[in-house]
Amino acid sequence: MEDDYTELVVLCEDKQQEVFVRRFLTQSGVKRRRIRIRSYLAGAGSGEQWVRTQYPLEVREHRARSQRLHIGLLVMQDVDTATVEEAYKELGKALSAVRLPPRTEHERIALFFPRRNIETWLRFLTAGPLADESVRYPKLHREESRCHSAADRLAAKHEYRLTREVPASLRAACPEIRRLFPAKQCVEVPNQP
């Protein structure tokens, strides 16, 4: 599946998120040269705060350019112990603080909020239902590319079967993925007795 994005901007907190998202996008058909990464520089304060500060700037630019170009914006931010809903609200507040309207249903702006951190998603996508969003899994420091198999698994799916084993933050990402790749489907799978 190839998409015809002119540009897809990625706003993320750290190198691991950058490597995961870039791989996910290229495996989903976005040409590598069309991906523009806006990643937080380690050691300059809070990555979460940096994403929240940059988000309104990127949304403003996205809206100005999306009328004439086929572009997307993907934002990834670890929510640590907060909920995904709280993370949505925080970014919504960041928009309203600069008098920007909330994200609309049809904007190609996707928000990914791994709970605890991205390593929770990596664990689930490689080890299955053993992932627990209350556990802080170790970072792949200096081995970030080890996440490629997890990103490949996520990108390869055209129908996301959302069972109860899927971590809640990854379940919440499914409709967000569809903002960028509308052909992908989210299917709720009822609990088996």
Q: pTM for the complete prediction?
A: 0.91
Question: Stretch 21-42: mean pLDDT, rounded?
Answer: 92
Which residues 6+ apart lie within 8 Å of 115 measured at CB? 78, 79, 80, 83, 84, 133, 167, 168, 169
The per-residue DSSP string of 14-79 comes to SHHHHHHHHHHHHHTT--GGGEEEEEPPTTSS-HHHHHHHHHHHHHHHHHHHTTTS-EEEEEE---
- What pLDDT, in 10s, does the model give residues 42-66? 666 688 889 999 999 999 999 999 9
Tokens of 121: 């998603």
Q: Is the pLDDT of residue 130 over 90?
A: no
Whole-number pLDDT of residue 137: 83
d(CA 124, CA 122): 6
Q: Is the pLDDT of residue 2 over 60?
A: no
- What pLDDT, in 10s, does the model give residues 97-108? 999 999 999 999
Tokens of 83: 């909920």
Q: Is the pLDDT of residue 162 over 50?
A: yes
| Residue 187 pLDDT level (bands cut at 50, 70, 90) | confident
137 by Cβ neighbours in 10 Å (0-12 / 13-18 / 19+) ranks as: middle
Say if residues 60 and 84 touch (Cβ distance below 8 Å). no
Percent of the chain past pLDDT 70, that is, above it, reads: 95
Q: Is the pLDDT of residue 3 over 50?
A: yes
Query: Strand order of the sheet with strand 109-112?
Result: 35-39, 7-12, 71-76, 109-112
Whole-number pLDDT of residue 115: 92
CA 93 to chain centre: 19
d(CA 74, CA 54): 12
Question: Stretch 173-187: mean pLDDT, rounded?
Answer: 93
Percent of the chain past pLDDT 90, that is, above it, reads: 65
